[in-house]
Each structure stands twice: as C-alpha cells, then as structure tokens.
Amino acid sequence: MTIIKLNEIATITQGVNPARIEVTEEHADAVKVNLLTLRQFNKAIGLPYRMLQDKKQHSFVKEEKFEKLLLTKADRLIIHLQSQKAAVLPKEDWNLVIPSNFVALDFEEGISAPFMSWYFNEHPKIQKQFHLSTQGSTIATLSINMLRAMVISLPPMVEQEKIASIVTLQQHKRALMQERNELENKWVRQQILNKLGEF
C-alpha cells in the first residue's frame, strides 16, 4: 500500500464557467456545445436526480475556444464539488464541456480511474478528509486546494482493478434493479387504470 498526496498522481483541473466563454447563437463562428449536467453525473453513480430540469444543458462558444475546453472522456474522473461525489462517465456522456461546479482528475499510468471513483465515494479515510476539509463551512463545498492536499492509500494495480470490477458489476446490478422497479411501477399503475376504466 502506497500513501501519497493526490496531486502527485493526478492533474486536477476545475471546469469552466460557461458564462465566461459563451457567445450568442448568432455569432459568426459560434459552435453549440453540450454541458455536463448534474442529472448525467448522478445517473453515472446511480443517484436519483430530483429536479425536473437541469439549469443549462448547452451553450455556444467561439470555435477557436472549443479546442481548449475541458471535456469529459474515458478514464477521466469527475468530482462534483458540492456533493463531494466522484464518477467515471459512460461513453454516451463523453465530449461534454465540464462546468465549474465539477473538477476533472487525470491520473498517471498505473492508477485505475474506476477504482479511484469507488475510493472517493466509499472509503472511510477519504470521507473523513472531506468532512474535515469542509468543517465549519456554511455549504460543504470542496476546492481544488483541498483535493490537492488530500492523502490517499493506493493498493497495487491488480487490487485496484479487482475492486473496480466488483464496483462496476454492482453498479450494473443496481441499474437493472432500478429499471425493473420502474417497469413494475408502470405495470401496476396501468393495471389500476385499466381496473378503474371498468367502472
């Protein structure tokens, strides 16, 4: 087990504030970009999203600025600063612009992003660090400096991959169970409506 600071094994980058880069749709070289939303993020970690609609799902930026934007991609760990949760996003959510309420972590070779997602969300040591970092704050929000200072315990890559595999299977099972519950609820609702139609 290796004990190391997070900033020694990962590049930590905060997302962009869309208001600072956006232009109007009518702008000569405007390009429409899709933004990472909390709905997509929560879905990736199996959490419900209670808002009816996300604040903003897309924006327009100058084509020249698009190349420099921080985007979601494979093996890039995303942390939501307010909820203090982490996720590696599925392929359908790649190439989304990462807004400023998220942070992206790009790890060195030999570190599993899915393992680190589990580590951030579940490990008691990291949860304790999150708690101590945000103690006394009105709103418990992480910052890049807090993340850089975090100390983590890294098992060998073989162990990381085993844990990541177990977590992936568990998430898949959870998603299937959720889908089953939704279908069952729809079926029960339809049966009740059918019964009421008989009166």
Residue spans per domain, the chain: 2-197
Using pLDDT thresholds of 50, 70 and 90, give the confidence band for residue 54: low
Lowest mean pLDDT among 3-7, 42-46, 83-87, 185-189: 42-46
User: Which two structure tokens, joined as six digits, stand for 169?
Assistant: 């299977």
How far, in Å, CA of 6 to CA of 4, rounded? Answer: 6
The proportion of the chain whose per-residue pLDDT surpasses 70, expressed as a percent, equals: 92
69 - beta bridge partners?
none
Going by the DSSP 8-state scheme, the letter that residue 180 receives in this structure is: H
Element (H, E) at 154: strand 151-154
Model pTM score: 0.82
How far, in Å, CA of 193 to CA of 61, rounded? Answer: 48
Domain 2-197 has CATH 1.10.260.40: no
Residues 15 and 70 sit within 8 Å (Cβ to Cβ): yes
CA atoms within 13 A on the CB side of 37: 16
How far, in Å, CA of 152 to CA of 129, rounded? Answer: 10
pLDDT at position 115: 94
pLDDT above 70 for 151: yes
Over residues 13-34, the mean pLDDT reads 83
Residue ranges of alpha helices (H) inside the chain are: 18-21, 38-44, 63-66, 113-122, 124-134, 144-149, 157-197
Find the distance separating the first CA and the last CA of the chain, reported in whole Å. 68
Over residues 73-85, the mean pLDDT reads 93
Residues 4 and 151 sit within 8 Å (Cβ to Cβ): yes
pLDDT above 60 for 52: no
